[in-house]
Amino acid sequence: MASRPACRTLTEDELYAELATGRFRRVVICTGAGVSTAAGVADFRSKGGLFDAIRAKYAARFPDVLAEPERLLSRQFVREHPQVWRKEVQPWLRQWKAVDAVPTATHRFCAWLHRQGWLRRVYTQNVDGLHSHASLGLPAELVVEVHGALRDGSIVLYGDALPRRVIACASADFHSGNSPDLVLVFGTALQVAPFCALPNLAPVGCTRVLVNRDLSHALRNAWSTPARRGGLDAMSGLSDGGLYGSGASVASSTKIGGRHVTLRPRWDVKEEKRWRQRQQGQNGRLGRATARHRGLFGRRFLLSGCYPRPLEAAGP
């Protein structure tokens, strides 16, 4: 049996240097709510976020959303209350919060990678549209809004299949003959399926880096434990792209572009592969080309340089 390629530990400074010198030329980025909080867009679950707004506005009429505000964003709610959705909820969502937000350092970093010719694609869970902001100049074909966007009412609801473009892009980007050499995961705890499976498509030997405010939150999710039924995600079969959900699902894997991939986090948690939390203003050896983007790795984030364990074909 052929031996698998060895994985070396990448230090934080080495990542900066290798980015600056162009070692990585096929970069895939996955982003979540943490990249937009600096723009004033609260993540869904934090105080002042969308879920709080849903409770305040709709819990009196729809008591179920008090405990599970995501129910308002489910296909089931649309079927049960079509007029409320069309005349009230959908217009409200389009104007919610993110209208005046501007891109953060993370969004600008993605645009910088594009200008260097090294960005393969950005996959984002966010519905704020900031990766598509006109000031960045990112071509539309390089941005995949996995859960849609508030600006045009295209948000993907709990219980919906993902847009076909998500599957098509993932199939192309992680093709065995042209796979990424760097996967960067920013500002997400990887708790929502099937988005949480995207970093697991990286081939053995691909450099993966996970950046999150609390790293421990991204090391386990609902699929890390034995399967159980219940919650919104029980609606999902998670077959070939799956259905959008965040509860515990019967399945612990999904199919993306015909490939079985686990929904469970696959990160090496050894201490030597974790980087210290960097505070803005500290000195560091950065390549000139990346120094301006150092705010990307600011005080809100804990960094971990992680390489994937061998990715066996995930079973059903």
Which pLDDT belongs to residue 22? 92
User: Residue 250: what pLDDT?
Assistant: 57
How far apart (Å, rounded) are the C-alpha atoms in residues 152 and 306?
Answer: 36
Per-residue pLDDT, 97: 59
Distance between CA atoms of residues 52 and 57, nearest Å: 9
Strand partners, 143: 122
Dig out the tokens for 116 from the structure.
């260097």
Q: Name which of 240, 221, 242, 243 is nearest 232 in CA terms.
A: 243
Instruction: State if pTM tops 0.85.
Output: no
Dist. CA 4–CA 118, nearest whole Å = 26
One digit per residue, the tens of pLDDT, for the chain of length 316 reads 444 445 566 778 888 889 889 999 999 999 998 999 888 887 777 788 888 999 999 999 999 999 999 899 999 999 999 999 999 998 888 777 555 789 999 999 999 999 999 999 999 999 989 999 999 999 999 999 999 988 787 889 988 888 899 999 999 999 877 889 999 999 998 988 899 999 999 988 888 999 888 888 888 888 887 654 444 443 333 434 444 554 444 578 888 878 889 999 888 666 545 655 443 322 222 233 333 444 444 433 333 333 333 322 222 2
Which residues have a Cβ under 8 Å from the Cβ of 133 and sit 6 or more positions away?
102, 103, 107
DSSP string for 26-77: SEEEEE-GGGTGGGT---TTSTTSHHHHHHHHHTTT-THHHH-GGGGGBHHH
Q: Please list the residues that pair with 186 across neighbouring strands.
A: 31, 211
What's the pLDDT at 308?
38
**Residue 25 and residue 252: Cα distance in Å, rounded?**
32
| pLDDT (0 to 100) of residue 71 | 93
Class of the 12-41+103-306 domain? alpha beta
At 315 the pLDDT is 26
Residues with catalytic annotation?
Answer: 147
- Give the strand pairing for 119-124 and 259-262: unpaired
**Helix (H) or strand (E) run with residue 12 in it:** helix 12-20
3-state helix, strand, coil in the chain (%, to 5): 35, 15, 50
The dihedral through the CA atoms of 138, 202, 178, 145 has a sign that is negative
100 contacts 128 by C-beta, under 8 angstroms: no
CB atoms within 10 A of CB 260: 14
Locate CATH 3.40.50.1220 in the chain. Answer: 12-41+103-306
DSSP-based three-state secondary structure for 150: coil
